Amino acid sequence: MTVRPAAALRSHGVWAGFAGTVLVAWGSCHPEFSFSPDGWPANWVNAIGLSASMPWNRVVLVVGVVALVWGWWHIRPTRERPAVHAGTALALWSLPLLVVPPVLSPDAVLYADLGWTLSVGENPYHVGLATSGGPFAYLVDPLWAGSGVAYPPLTLRLNELVVVATGAQSYWSVVAMRIPAVLAVAAMLVLVPRIATLLGRPKRGAVWLGVLNPLLVLHFIGAAHNDAPMVATTLAAIWVVLRWPRWWSTFLAGPLLVAVAMAFKQQGGLAIVAVAGLPVAATLAALPLGRRLWLLGWRTVVATAVALVGFVAISAASGLGFGWVEWLDLMGLAGTPAPLALLAKAGAILWANGGGSYTGFLIVAGRIGTLVLLLVLVWIGVRFSDRPLSLVAWGSLAVAVLGQALHPWYLPWSLALLGLVPLTRKQRYAVFGFAIAFCVWNAFQTVIWHGQN
């Protein structure tokens, strides 16, 4: 049955979500969300923001997020509820966010500053943020000023392209960082239902969870996070091996797409397990555990080798190399609810109060946390060795939750993958509840601790 765009216009949930993004856009225009004492470098933006004086601008932003979450929940697919045209709903929800400042995160400013640094011939791995001058330096979060970045090279070259194409304009170059994210989300809207069809999964549910979820709307489109191209590219790799399950897709095209994904964000490398395993998923399901692990293992090793060669080639061609490795430890500096990081910091405080070294404790705790994450990934690998896509879906969630930092923009990748795999009723509602709770919590966190606050 064909779902027409007009169906979305009759949905109360769609209009609630639209009202929500209008409110989020309005609240985000307030000068207090800029790191500059003069506010945003566009007077009209500051004027819109100041029309909701403090603290009402914060209330507006939180209410907007809640309204978007409510709208999303009330268009979820059920037997009784009419289908909603996903593209129309997504377009309506995105429209208010497209020309306002980055919402719920200032990272797009960092991207613009990185693009400027490259455009003047400097290497961001060697030159710290906000240290090369230019029109974005005064807008950079002081937490990161002077530091390099752990972003891989393709992301940095994309930042440069956007800054150069927009003339390094202090406001519009930042806003234009949404262009790659919007294109990536459009690709997801095309790929997710096609992958669901190839897997025999319901398309409506996959798109609702994987593309329409509020975390994606707010943090890929609203905040322009660079995870979006990585997610779209990994989905393209998965679609290729499902659409053409041949040797060339498994050991050449798919791995090379994963290499591109890794050059956007390193976490994309986890998708190689799905690329290697999906073409033989039926065989894996029929084999005993030992033989299954062997089949999945050698295929993954070969595909990984190809992906790594591609990643190295992209890094070399970029002219930037692997300087991002030096800055991986910076990920844990931001205050996030990452469970292992919170435990480590609490333990370090107690250890320091007892006369020990705070930093030394964190180093040891960080190594233990890495070991815990690796053990969890091994367990997931064995548990889901007969279902490669489920392995990557749950593995990506483990990496997001158990890593050094837990940011809301890490989760849309997991949600896109989880929407494509079978879940029990308990798992579904745990995933839905986690996404909703984290989205609302992030809104409160943003208005309490941010910018000039």
Q: With bands split at pLDDT 50, 70 and 90, how would you rate the model's confidence at 80?
A: confident
Residue 245 has pLDDT above 80, yes or no: yes
As a whole number of angstroms, the distance between CA 340 and CA 6 comes to: 46
C-alpha dihedral sign at 46, 47, 51, 54: positive
242 located within any domain: no
User: Do the domain assignments include residue 12?
Assistant: yes
Q: Across residues 205-232, what is the average pLDDT?
A: 96
Does a structural domain hold residue 11?
yes
CA–CA gap between residue 58 and residue 97 (Å, rounded): 16
d(CA 150, CA 329): 9
Residue-wise pLDDT for 9-57, tens only, equals: 778 899 999 999 999 999 999 999 998 888 999 999 999 999 998 899 9
What is the reported pLDDT for 368?
Answer: 86
**What pLDDT, on the 0 to 100 scale, is given for residue 244?**
96
Sequence-separated (6 or more) residues with CB below 8 Å from residue 93: 14, 17, 18, 20, 21, 68, 71, 212, 217
pLDDT tens digits for 401-420?
988 778 899 999 999 999 99
DSSP string, 370-390: HHHHHHHHHHHHHHTTT-HHH
Q: How far apart are the first and last CA of the chain?
A: 51
15 is a domain residue: yes
Count the domains in the chain.
1
Interatomic CA distance for residues 86 and 421, integer angstroms: 19
Cα Rg of the chain, angstroms: 22
For 108-137, what is each residue's pLDDT tens digit? 999 999 999 999 999 999 888 888 888 998
Q: What SS3 string covers 23-77?
A: HHHHHHCCHHHCCCCCCCCCHHHHHHHHCCCCCHHHHHHHHHHHHHHHHHHCCCC
pLDDT of residue 333: 57
Q: How far apart are CA 35 and CA 37, in angstroms?
A: 7
**Domain assignment of residue 43, yes or no:** yes
Q: What is the pLDDT of residues 149-166, one digit of tens each?
A: 889 999 999 999 999 999
**What is the extent of the structural domain holding 24?**
1-101
How many distinct helices (H) and strands (E) make up the chain?
Answer: 22, 0
Residue 17 maps to a domain? yes
> Tokens at residue 225, please?
């996070």
HEC per residue, 258-314: HHHHHHHCHHHHHHHHHHHHHHHHHHHHHCCHHHHHHHHHHHHHHHHHHHHHHHHHH
Query: Does 410 fall in a domain?
Result: no
**pLDDT range class, residue 277, cuts 50, 70, 90:** very high
Mean pLDDT of the chain: 91
The single-letter DSSP state of residue 250 is: I
| pLDDT at 453 > cutoff 60 | no
- Domain membership flag for residue 74: yes
Is 3 a residue whose pLDDT tops 80? no
Residue 260: predicted pLDDT: 97
pLDDT at 234 over 70: yes
DSSP state of 75: T
Q: What is the pLDDT of residue 329?
A: 67
